[in-house]
């Protein structure tokens, strides 16, 4: 699973470099993101701008990553493509995650833990 | 796999319920539907529903046994797109596909569901669904009608 990971002002930004998070890639995705998130204290932002398809396995993997990070580390999402945004809306997962238009917005000064808008 | 000749539809594939074959089948179906001029919104519904149906076949119908075969036919039907998916795995429990219930999301964060979305997505993103068990086969027919909006 190809990821780019960088730390911006204490926020771990992880860009997913595959176009699908599905039953084929869900487990690899989960393991790779957990490893990239590391053990630090900061928020994690998952940049999904290159992901055009997520199925229920992929959705489950994203939830699993969020749970793995624990209550102290928030997982936010950025740059959802229309198809992926729709899946989050359909499953009401847009109420669970902070969703930002892009990684810049997710890491900017206004991106406090309660400032994300659902859609 | 057996492919199409000139027209993109109807389209029929016969493949193993293995992750690699299923992904290749989904890719080929998407290409055929794009070639047939299906709009982006309906295409994404079809892709998601078929992915969920195939996952279920691999994980439930053929659970605990070597990947069996899946036959998938996609055909236009008036305004609709009709897909028929057949497998020779276990029948649906109770003789019917599970209902379209979204898992409870109003729960503490550490209790959020990591699965159970598949049938909800299938029921809500397809416009009609018909399941039959016949001759040792599961036969699931789905219809996708045009929807207003995007």
- Phi–psi pair at A75, nearest 5 degrees: -110, 120
Q: Is A27 on the interface with B (CB under 8 A)?
A: no
Query: A2, A1, A8, A22: which is closest to A100 by C-alpha?
Result: A8
A23 and B51: CB-CB below 8 Å? yes
How far does B76 lie from chain A, in Å, by closest CA? 23
Q: Is A91 on the interface with B (CB under 8 A)?
A: yes
Distance CA B63, CA B20 (A): 17
Residue of B21, B27, B48 to mutate, testing the A interface (most A Cβ within 10 Å of its Cβ): B48
Tens digit of pLDDT for each residue in A30-87?
999 999 998 888 899 999 999 999 999 999 999 999 999 998 899 999 999 999 999 9
Query: B18, B23, B77, B31: which is closest to B50 by C-alpha?
Result: B23
Tens digit of pLDDT for each residue in B82-130?
999 999 999 999 999 998 889 998 999 899 999 999 999 999 999 999 9
Distance CA B52, CA B60 (A): 12
The mean pLDDT value for B12-22 works out to 95
How far does A57 lie from chain B, in Å, by closest CA? 7
- What sign results for the dihedral spanned by CA atoms B71, B76, B77, B82? positive
The mean pLDDT value for B3-21 works out to 85
Question: What does the block give as tokens for B76?
Answer: 């236009």
DSSP state, A101?
A: S
Confidence of residue B6 (pLDDT cuts 50, 70, 90): low
Cα–Cα separations (whole angstroms), residue B148 to B13, B30, B39, B41: 30, 21, 12, 10
Q: Give yes or no for residue A113 having a pLDDT over 70.
A: no
A95 vs B contacts (CB less than 8 Å): 105
Tell me, rounded to whole angstroms, the distance of Cα B85 from its chain centroid: 7
Q: Give yes or no for residue B7 having a pLDDT over 70.
A: yes
Q: Give yes or no for residue A118 having a pLDDT over 50.
A: no
Predicted pLDDT of residue A39: 86
How far does B134 lie from chain A, in Å, by closest CA? 28
The mean pLDDT value for B5-17 works out to 88
Q: Is A60 on the interface with B (CB under 8 A)?
A: yes
Query: B128, B137, B133, B132: which is closest to B86 by C-alpha?
Result: B137
Q: Is A68 on the interface with B (CB under 8 A)?
A: no
Tens digit of pLDDT for each residue in A77-107?
999 999 999 999 999 999 999 999 999 999 9
How far does B132 lie from chain A, in Å, by closest CA? 24
Nearest residue in chain B measured CA to CA from A81: B44
Percent of chain B scoring above 70 in pLDDT: 95
């Amino acid at each position: 699973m190809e990821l780019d990971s960088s730390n911006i002002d204490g926020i771990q930004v992880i860009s997913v470099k595959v176009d699908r998070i599905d039953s084929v890639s869900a487990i690899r995705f989960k393991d790779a993101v957990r490893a990239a998130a590391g053990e630090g204290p900061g928020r994690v932002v998952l940049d999904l701008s290159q992901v055009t398809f997520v199925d229920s396995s992929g959705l489950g993997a994203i939830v699993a990553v969020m749970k793995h990070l624990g209550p102290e580390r928030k997982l936010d999402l950025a740059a959802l493509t229309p198809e992926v945004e729709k899946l989050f809306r359909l499953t009401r997962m847009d109420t669970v995650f902070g969703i930002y238009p892009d990684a810049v917005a997710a890491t900017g000064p206004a991106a406090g833990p309660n400032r994300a808008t659902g859609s | 796999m057996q492919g199409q000749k000139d027209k993109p539809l109807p389209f029929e594939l016969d493949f193993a319920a293995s992750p690699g074959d299923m992904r290749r089948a989904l890719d080929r179906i998407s290409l055929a539907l794009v070639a047939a001029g299906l709009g982006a919104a309906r295409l994404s519904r079809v892709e998601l529903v078929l992915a969920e149906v195939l996952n279920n076949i691999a994980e439930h119908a053929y659970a605990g046994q070597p990947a069996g075969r899946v036959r998938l036919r996609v055909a236009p039907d008036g305004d609709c797109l009709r897909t028929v998916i057949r497998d020779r795995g276990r029948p649906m429990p109770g003789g019917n596909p599970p209902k379209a219930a979204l898992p409870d999301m109003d729960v503490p964060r550490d209790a959020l569901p990591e699965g159970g979305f598949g049938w909800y997505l299938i029921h809500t993103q397809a416009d009609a669904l018909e399941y039959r068990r016949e001759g040792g086969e599961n036969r699931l027919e789905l219809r996708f009608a045009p929807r207003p909006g995007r």
